[in-house]
Structure 1
C-alpha cells in the first residue's frame, strides 16, 4: 500500500480508515513544510509586534484576559498539564490513530503556526505506531482539546502510550521506537490540541462503517425479497423517477441489480408490507445521510480549524470559531436517525419472515412445525436490539452547559454524537445478521425457488457461516458468528465473486 502524502487537501474518509486500521504510512508533501514555516514566521512577527494572541501570550478560556509573561515555552507545557482532565475507558487504537491523522491533515493546511519540527514529530510517532492512551470522556465538542492533550503530552514524553500492544510511560515508548521527546515553541501546545480531530477522525471511521453496513443491508433486503416472494415491481426505475427523492433511485437500482435474472418469478402478492415495499425510500434516505456526513467529515479533515488562525498570505493572526463543529454534529445526528429508520425496517422484515406464516412460508420458519419454536424467540432479541438503537438515536447536540465563566457558553457534543452513531452501526449489523439468517431460511423452505445470481451468492455466503435450521437449536450462537463476519471484514471474503461485493452506496 502506497503512503498517504499530506498536501493540505484531498484527504478522504477512506484514507483515514487505511491509516487507522491498516497501518498505512504517512508522508509529508513537498510544499507542507514551507507552508508551516511561512505561517510560523507570521505568528512570531505578530507576537513580536505586541499583538495579543490567544494561547500564546494570553491565558485560555476564563483566563482570556490574563497576560502570559516569562517563558512562553514553559507556558505551553503548563497549558497541557492544566487541561489533561480526560477520564474513562481508553479509546481503541484505531480511533487514536484516526485522531492523530485528522490533526495532521488539518495542520498541513498551514493555518496553525505550529513549528514544523513538531509536525514532523507527530508524523514520526504515528508511523512508528506509538499511540497515546487517550481517555474517552472530556470533550463537549467545542474543540476536543481535553482529549487531544494526550497527543501533545506524548510528543514531550509525558503520560502513557501504547506501543506494540503494551502500555507504558510515553518516554519509554518513544525510546523503544528510537524517537525522543520534543520541545514546544510558543503556541505549539495549543496548536496541537485546539481542534476537533477526535470528532473528525472518529467520524471518518463511522462513515466508512456505515457504507459497509449499507451494502450488507442491501444484500439482506434483497435476500428477504427472494425468500418472502416479494413483488419486484417496486424496483421499476420509472417509479423512482416519478418521485426522485434523495438516494432513492440509487437504492432501487442496487436492489434491482442484486435481484436481476433472466426471468423473474411471479409475485405472490400485489403489495408487500411497507418494510419491504418502501426499501428504496428508506435506504435512499440513508444514502443521502451518509453522503452528508462524509462531506462534513472531509471538510474538517482538509480545513484549517485553528484558533487563532494564521492567514499567511495576508500576514494576519485572527481569532476564530473554526474549531466549532455544529455542521458535523448535525450531519451525524441525521445519520443516526437514518440508520435507526433502516434498522427498524430490517427488524420489521425479520418479524414478517418469522411470524405465523405468510406467502406460503411455514410458521416461525420451522421445517418441523408442531411445538417447534423455530425463529420466533429471536423476535425478542431483535426487538431489544432495535430498542437500543432507538435510544441512541435521540439527539444530544443540544445537551450542554455554559463553562469557563460563561466564555464557552455553546457546544456541539460532536464526539458523543459520533460515538453513539458508531455504536448504532454495530447494533445495526446485528439486525442485518438476523435478517440474513431468516431470509436464508425462508429461501431454503420455498420449494422450487431459483435465486438470482447475486442473491444466490449472498445465500451461499450466509450458509457458509450458518447452517439451515432443521430442528430447534441455539440460534444466538449462529447470529454471533454471522455478525462477527459482517463487522470484522470476513463477509467480503466469504461473499464471492468479488464483483458481487461492490458497495451499494
Structure 2
C-alpha cells in the first residue's frame, strides 16, 4: 500500500537532536539504566554489545536450536502461538540446510505479518516522536541477548538505532503482556516492509534501510518470538516516564522553595532532629534538601512577623514530596528490573540438569530437557512477560503525584490570602501588577489539575478473555504509562503556574522588605530567568522575545541550581 506521506516529516513527528552522538552505551542484557535509555533515545548515543552479551546470546540461541533439533515442544517455533499452541508448525532439523531454509521462511513470513497464528494489528494514533521509538528499540536490543535471538537480529536492531531508522509505530492495540502489535511493526521494518523514518524523513521501510546502508534481515530460529513477544514498547516508555518524572519533581522542589520564600514560611518542620525521630528516610531526605535550598535566606533569620506555622500545603511539602520521591525511587528500580529482564515465553534456561532440583527431575519437566555435546538446559513455557509489578509502581507514583500537584494548586491561593501572607489585601494590589496577574492564573491551575486527575484515575483490572480465553487477564501497562506520562507533562505546567504566582508575590514581599535575603539557590534561579522569562506581558522595558516560565523550564535542567550540597536524587531503597 502506498504511503502518501513518504519522504515527508509530519508536523507532529518530533525528531531528536543527537547531542550525544559520539557517546556509546554498551549493552549486556543485565545492567541497562534509565539514564542510558535516555542517552540513546533522547540524545542519540550509539549502542554496542559487550563481548559478554554476544556470548550470552549465542548460548541461548544454541540451546533453543538444540531443543528444536531434538524435537522438543517449543512454543513459537515447533508449536504455534496463542490458540494454535497445540499445532505443530515445524518439525525439521535447524542444523541442516533444508531445515534452516524452512525455518527462515517461517520466520520471514511472521516478520512480514503473514503468520496465521499471529494475526495482530496495531491501531492509531501514530507515535509522534523519535525518542519514544528509540526508547523501545534500545530496550528491545538489551533484552534480545537473553531471548535466543540470532546474531543478525542483534546487529539489525542496533543498526536501526545507530543509523537513526525509526519504524512507524501505532500506539494502541497491545493487551499489555507482550506488546505484539507494536513490536510486529518493528519486525516489518527490519525486513523492508511498512514505513519508517530515516533521520527524521518518512519513507517506505525498504528505502529507509537502503538509504542507511543496511541489509534486510533474514530472520532465523526464534527471532520473531524474541523480538515481537516483547514488552519493550511499554518498558521503553516507562523509562522515559521515570526520567521526565525526576525532572518534574526537581522543579517542584525548587518552585516550592520560591513559594516558601514568598510566604515567609516557617522552617522549623525541616529540622533534621525532627526527621530522625518522626519520618521515613525519603521524607527526611527531602526535608534536608529543602533546608539546603533555603539556606542563607531570610527564612532562617528571626522575624517577628512570621507565624509559627503556615498552611499544610507549605508545611507538609516534604511529606507529600517525600512520598512522591519514594514512589519515584521504587518505580525507577522496577523499570530498571524490567528493561534487564528477558520476560520471554518460552524461557531459555541453559546449564541446568535434572539433578539440580526435584522439579527438574519430574516427568513433566524432562520433556523439555535439552542435552547434547555443546549445551544442556531446559526450554519451557513461561509467564515471565507479566508486568504486574510495573503496573503497581506506576499506579503508586500516580497517586503520589496527585498529592504533590494538589499542593501546587493550593499554594498560589494561600499566597494571595491576607490571613496567610500577612501582606496587603489582594483587593488593594494594583491592577496590572505581577501579583494581580498571578491571581488570573487560578482558572488555568484549576483546569490543569482537573486534566491531571483524569489522567491519574486508576484503571481497574482487565478481565476480557482474549485469544479464546488463553489470555483472560491483561494488564494496562502501556495505557497506564501513557496516561501518567501525560500527567507528568501537565504537572510541569501546573508547577510553572505556581512559579508565576510565587515570583509575583515574592516581588510584592521584596517591595516591603528590599533587603530581604533569598539565599544563593533562589537568587541564582531568579538571575538565570531574569533576562528571558516574562511573567507579565505589560513590561515596557523587557526586550523581546521573552518566553513564559513554562517554556523556559523545558530548556533548563533544574539540578543546575541545586549546588553540591543538595543530593541529586534519593537512591534510598538499597
Task: Using the TM superposition, give the Cα deviation of residue 466 of structure 1 relative to its aligned residue in structure 2, in angstroms.
Answer: 3.0
**Considering only aligned residues, what root-mean-square deviation do their CA atoms show, in Å?**
2.6
Choose which of 61, 76, 79 in structure 1 pairs with 2:107: 76
3-state secondary structure, aligned to 2:437: coil
3-state secondary structure, aligned to 2:454: helix
What residue is the counterpart of 1:89 in the other structure? 125
Task: Using the TM superposition, give the Cα deviation of residue 246 of structure 1 relative to its aligned residue in structure 2, in angstroms.
Answer: 4.7
Alignment of 1:284-433 (within 5 A): 284-314=322-352, 315-355=377-417, 358-364=420-426, 367-369=429-431, 373-396=436-459, 398-433=461-496
Q: 1:469 to 1:133 in 2, by over 3 A?
A: closer
Tell me the distance in 2 between the aligned counterparts of 1:365 and 1:310.
Answer: 71
- Does structure 2 conserve the Cα–Cα contact (< 8 Å) formed by 1:223 and 1:459? no
Tell me the distance in 2 between the aligned counterparts of 1:32 and 1:161.
Answer: 28
> What does the per-residue CA deviation read over 1:401-433, in whole Å, with 9 as the maximum and x for residues that have no partner?
110000001111111111111111100001111
Tell me the distance in 1 between the aligned counterparts of 2:535 and 2:223.
Answer: 60
> Mean Cα displacement is larger for which, 232-241 or 77-86?
77-86
- Does structure 1 conserve the Cα–Cα contact (< 8 Å) formed by 2:292 and 2:566? no
- Does structure 2 conserve the Cα–Cα contact (< 8 Å) formed by 1:228 and 1:353? yes
Tell me the distance in 1 between the aligned counterparts of 2:71 and 2:187.
Answer: 27
TM-score by length of 1: 0.92
Choose which of 11, 25, 31 in structure 2 pairs with 1:4: 25
What residue is the counterpart of 2:87 in the other structure? 66
> What does the per-residue CA deviation read over 1:140-168, in whole Å, with 9 as the maximum and x for residues that have no partner?
21111111111111111111101121111
What residue is the counterpart of 1:149 in the other structure? 184
> What does the per-residue CA deviation read over 1:113-143, in whole Å, with 9 as the maximum and x for residues that have no partner?
1111111111111111111001111112111
Tell me the distance in 2 between the aligned counterparts of 1:79 and 1:162.
Answer: 22
Unaligned stretches of 5+ residues in structure 2: 1-21, 92-101, 353-376
Tell me the distance in 2 between the aligned counterparts of 1:135 and 1:470.
Answer: 40
- Does structure 2 conserve the Cα–Cα contact (< 8 Å) formed by 1:246 and 1:285? no
Tell me the distance in 2 between the aligned counterparts of 1:214 and 1:343.
Answer: 10
Q: 1:68 to 1:479 in 2, by over 3 A?
A: farther
> What does the per-residue CA deviation read over 1:277-314, in whole Å, with 9 as the maximum and x for residues that have no partner?
10010010011000111011100111221110111222
Tell me the distance in 2 between the aligned counterparts of 1:114 and 1:397.
Answer: 35
> Mean Cα displacement is larger for which, 193-202 or 64-73?
64-73
Task: Using the TM superposition, give the Cα deviation of residue 370 of structure 1 relative to its aligned residue in structure 2, in angstroms.
Answer: 9.7
2:64 matches 1:43: yes
What residue is the counterpart of 1:466 in the other structure? 533
- Does structure 2 conserve the Cα–Cα contact (< 8 Å) formed by 1:307 and 1:323? yes
> What does the per-residue CA deviation read over 1:350-391, in whole Å, with 9 as the maximum and x for residues that have no partner?
221234674233444984159995322211110110111111
What residue is the counterpart of 1:187 in the other structure? 222
Choose which of 89, 100, 103 in structure 1 pairs with 2:137: 100
2:284 matches 1:232: no
> Mean Cα displacement is larger for which, 411-420 or 75-84?
75-84
Q: 1:9 to 1:69 in 2, by over 3 A?
A: closer
Tell me the distance in 2 between the aligned counterparts of 1:419 and 1:295.
Answer: 19
2:181 matches 1:114: no
Task: Using the TM superposition, give the Cα deviation of residue 75 of structure 1 relative to its aligned residue in structure 2, in angstroms.
Answer: 2.8
Tell me the distance in 2 between the aligned counterparts of 1:470 and 1:419.
Answer: 34
> Mean Cα displacement is larger for which, 310-319 or 392-401?
392-401
Task: Using the TM superposition, give the Cα deviation of residue 94 of structure 1 relative to its aligned residue in structure 2, in angstroms.
Answer: 0.5
Choose which of 28, 35, 40 in structure 2 pairs with 1:14: 35
Choose which of 119, 136, 141 in structure 1 pairs with 2:171: 136
- Does structure 2 conserve the Cα–Cα contact (< 8 Å) formed by 1:85 and 1:146? yes
TM-score by length of 2: 0.82
Tell me the distance in 1 between the aligned counterparts of 2:204 and 2:566.
Answer: 43
2:220 matches 1:175: no
What residue is the counterpart of 2:369 in the other structure? none
2:489 matches 1:452: no
- Does structure 1 conserve the Cα–Cα contact (< 8 Å) formed by 2:532 and 2:547? no
- Does structure 2 conserve the Cα–Cα contact (< 8 Å) formed by 1:485 and 1:491? no
Q: How many residues were matched structurally? A: 498
3-state secondary structure, aligned to 1:55: coil
3-state secondary structure, aligned to 1:161: strand
- Does structure 2 conserve the Cα–Cα contact (< 8 Å) formed by 1:102 and 1:201? yes
- Does structure 2 conserve the Cα–Cα contact (< 8 Å) formed by 1:329 and 1:397? no
